[in-house]
Amino acid sequence: MIPKRVAVVGPVASGKSTLAAEIAGHMGLPHLDLDALFWGAGWTPVDAVIFQNRARDALSAETWIADGNYSGPVGEMLLGHAELAIWLDLPLCTCLPRLLKRSFRRAARGEELFAGNQETFRHLFARDSILLWGPAHHRQHRRRWRHHLGPNKPHGLTVLHLTRSTAVAPALRAMSLLPPATRAVAQCRTP
């Protein structure tokens, strides 16, 4: 059975949002980015009760592919409603280059994120920068997900634990969550 409610979790820049969008597009299911429910204008988090209510309403839908890195009540709701958790348990040496590339691209292009927020070069070099916060919390996030999704997890949720970026697409293709790989065929040149 192909799951209809999939949670994609992992540390900062592990590829959660990109992967969730790809799965959602392939399966024709709505993509729910929990960051879009959390952030208000000016990079201000919304009130905790508002965030929890938004998450509860969104996660009560029958189908979704959700991504986020939240603990507490929202993290519990996410895992409690999911049929499958895809745990991107990637090392910092994989996530940090992705974080740098993504953040600088967003700042250079002025990409709008949640609630009209943008990553700017000024913000990237501030004390509360994602470039500092992500690596500083990487281990903590991995430990938290290990506690919730590891072998001694307290619930019956199916967990796909992926520790290498090269294993992600093949594992999801095997579950029909991504389309089959296409082989590039070299065109024949005729004289």
Mean pLDDT for all residues in the chain: 92
Average pLDDT of the segment spanning 133-147? 94
Question: In this predicted structure, what is the pLDDT of residue 154?
Answer: 63
Is position 65 within any domain?
A: yes
Distance separating alpha carbons of residues 3 and 71, to the nearest angstrom: 22
Number of domains in the chain: 1
Q: Is the pLDDT of residue 18 over 80?
A: yes
CA 158, distance to chain mean position in Å, is: 17
Question: In this predicted structure, what is the pLDDT of residue 185?
Answer: 53
Q: Which of 92, 97, 78, 95 is nearest to 34 (CA)?
A: 78
Is position 184 within any domain?
A: no
Distance separating alpha carbons of residues 143 and 126, to the nearest angstrom: 27
Question: In this predicted structure, what is the pLDDT of residue 186?
Answer: 53
* Range of the structural domain that residue 93 is part of: 5-174
Is position 185 within any domain?
A: no
pLDDT tens per residue, range 72-129: 999 999 999 999 999 999 999 999 999 999 999 999 999 999 999 999 999 999 998 9
Is position 187 within any domain?
A: no
Confidence of residue 39 (pLDDT cuts 50, 70, 90): very high
Question: In this predicted structure, what is the pLDDT of residue 187?
Answer: 56
Is position 56 within any domain?
A: yes
Is position 71 within any domain?
A: yes
Partners of residue 163 on adjacent β-strands: none
The structure tokens listed for 165 are 């970026």
Is position 183 within any domain?
A: no
Helix residue ranges, H only, 110-163: 121-124, 130-149
> Which CATH number goes with the domain that contains 72?
3.40.50.300
Question: In this predicted structure, what is the pLDDT of residue 190?
Answer: 46
Distance separating alpha carbons of residues 63 and 105, to the nearest angstrom: 31
Question: In this predicted structure, what is the pLDDT of residue 129?
Answer: 93
Is position 12 within any domain?
A: yes
Collapsing DSSP to helix, strand or coil, 59 comes out as: helix
